[in-house]
Amino acid sequence: MQPKLILHGGASSLDDKGGLDSVRSSLREIVEEVYALLSQGESALGAVVRGCERLENEPRFNAGTGSVLQSDGQVRMSAALMDGARQNFSGVINVSRVKNPIHLAQYLQQETDRILSDYGAAELARELSVPPYDPLTDFRLREWQEERKDNFSKKMARLIAEPEPRRGTIGVVALDQEGRVAAGTSTGGKGLERIGRVSDSAMPAGNYATDQAGVSCTGVGEDIINECLAAKIVIRVGDGLSLEEAMTKSIQEALAHQTDLAAIALDRRGGLAWGKTCPVLLAAYHTGERIGDTLELGAEESAGFIAV
């Protein structure tokens, strides 16, 4: 079977991340590297982990290094991995001081307790001797200081969510030579959120896969959770809709609810799809024959497909 790959670097604007050319070249470099692994026989799960790791290490995206700061100035990251072949979900929620949250999600694939939050995730990192790592970048610190500057003149900082989310989450969905599907998503959250807020990225709403299809989402987590978007698209495919129908129907519903989100998807036959209710989706794909991206899609274009 010819492998397929689609990945995203979030739903925020190109300007935030250094413009069209630099975002395109980093997404393409990663899509090519990960596709080469799939061509050499790497599993969908292994390819997704590698893709997420590369995107987490790229400071222009809001995951791993370069994660946005929460309302209290701390970085707390969430990541999930789902092996479609085994229908097995694992993840970490609000973990700090690790370089690659996706590696913890990968380890948890084999455990009986598969989704760990803050203290539990930190304890796991310690048990696994994961070296402590500070994912903070100067850019994110300055961004937070700028947004919080008035707080320093007050007795108490405002520790609640801000209306304008950051949206630079990353995600990867792959189909391997054996026809197995996997999906992974990793995020620093939506930025300036209340302490303890839980992102969609480590929930089946934001990241889901079965032996039929896989989806990774980005955008405002609360909207993605309300739509239960990733699981909904995948389950619709399992119930007999084509990937195109499942994506279109789910995005139409999300549009009707005035949401701010996006999703990338593929199915076991090799179809690729993306959909969005937000203006921009930074996604790239590799079909084996061609590499493409969604960087120049208009705000009004809500979905796209590449049939097998």
For residue 287, indicate whether it is catalytic: no
Q: Which stretch binds ligand ASP (CB under 6 A): 46-54, 118-126, 197-205, 281-289?
A: 197-205
Q: How many residues bind ligand ASP (CB under 6 A)?
A: 16
Q: Which of 200, 227, 244, 293 binds ligand ASP (CB under 6 A)?
A: 200
70 belongs to the binding site for ligand ASP (CB under 6 A): no
218 belongs to the binding site for ligand ASP (CB under 6 A): yes
Rounded to whole angstroms, the Cα distance separating 295 from 25 reads 11
Q: Are strands 291-293 and 283-286 parallel, antiparallel or unpaired?
A: antiparallel
Is 136 or 198 the residue whose CB approaches ligand ASP more closely?
198
- Rounded to a whole number, what is the largest CA-CA distance in the chain? 61
Q: Which of 201, 248, 259, 294 binds ligand ASP (CB under 6 A)?
A: 201
81 belongs to the binding site for ligand ASP (CB under 6 A): no
Is 201 or 259 the residue whose CB approaches ligand ASP more closely?
201
Rounded to whole angstroms, the Cα distance separating 79 from 187 reads 6
Q: How many CB atoms lie within 10 A of CB 189?
A: 29
Q: Are 27 and 286 in contact (CB under 8 A)?
A: no
220 belongs to the binding site for ligand ASP (CB under 6 A): yes
Q: Residue 239 CB, nearest distance to ligand ASP (Å)?
A: 25
Is 101 or 271 the residue whose CB approaches ligand ASP more closely?
101
Catalytic residue among 169, 210, 259, 287: 169
Rounded to whole angstroms, the Cα distance separating 221 from 199 reads 6
DSSP states of 103-161: HHHHHHTTSSS-EEEHHHHHHHHHHTTPPP-----HHHHHHHHHHHGGGGGSSS---S-
Of 155-184, which residues contact ligand ASP (CB under 6 A)? 167-169
Taking CB atoms within 8 Å and a gap of at least 24, the contacts of 116-125 are: 116/91, 116/92, 117/92, 117/93, 117/198, 118/76, 118/93, 118/94, 121/92, 121/93, 121/94, 121/95, 122/95, 122/96, 122/97, 124/92, 125/95, 125/97, 125/98
Q: Which stretch binds ligand ASP (CB under 6 A): 51-59, 98-106, 187-195, 234-242?
A: 187-195
Q: Which residue is nearest to ligand ASP (CB)?
A: 221
8 belongs to the binding site for ligand ASP (CB under 6 A): no
Q: Which of 3, 9, 10, 135 binds ligand ASP (CB under 6 A)?
A: 10
**What is the contact surface with ligand ASP in residues (CB under 6 A)?**
10, 62, 167-169, 187, 189-190, 199-201, 218-221, 224
Q: Where in the sequence numbering do the catalytic residues fall?
A: 169
